[in-house]
Structure 1
Amino acid sequence: MDDDAQQAGTVVLSGAVARTRPALFAALTEALALPAYLGDTWDALADVLRDRLDTGPLTLLVTDAGQLLADEPSDQHALLRTMLDDLAGTAPHPLHVVLREAPP
């Protein structure tokens, strides 16, 4: 595990296992121990992530980031980015998203 992933409040998520929206929600639910009632909308995800950010800062390290939501229409990636940007600007604790590609 690299230095970024060893920092407290850092969660590593593989873009390769989150190629669809349902897979992304499942991966985030598991990685962050999000509540089972999460639902399947961007608004629901924003709500539970905001609740998580009430408890402290969060860094989301996405490996193989080019594969994140790769099997979804491009607007889904844009909606994810917008939701994360909104959270980063308004949450009570910092949210950082780090996108990484595997070395060639």
Structure 2
Amino acid sequence: MKRKSFKMKLYDGMAKEYEKRHNELWPEMKEMIHDFGGSNYSIFLDEKTNILYGYIELRDEELWAKSADTEICKKWWEYMADIMETNPDNSPVSEDLDLVFHLD
């Protein structure tokens, strides 16, 4: 199992909408996340900076990378593109974070 953490950025004033959309996460997205080995997924928001911090545990990082090619993932990215920083393909601008400490 691989622990992965990353950060993304919301546009100003979009925190409530981001939370709403994730509270209504499509069943197909939930299924895709699990099918591609993701679990224990959390996203945190720093309201002062609009920075989102994500954490997910992956069964296989190579398998997880393939989730970006699914239609449901691309559809989700398009749905979220109006409220957060994105790349030209609508994927979120995301920067991986290094694990510096862990305690079970």
Same fold flag (TM > 0.5): no
- Could you say which structure has the greater relative contact order, defined with CA pairs below 8 angstroms and 6 or more residues apart? 2
Greater fraction of residues in strand: 2
Report the TM-score, using the length of structure 1 for normalisation: 0.31
Greater fraction of residues in helix: 1
Structure 1 or 2, whichever has the larger Rg, is 2
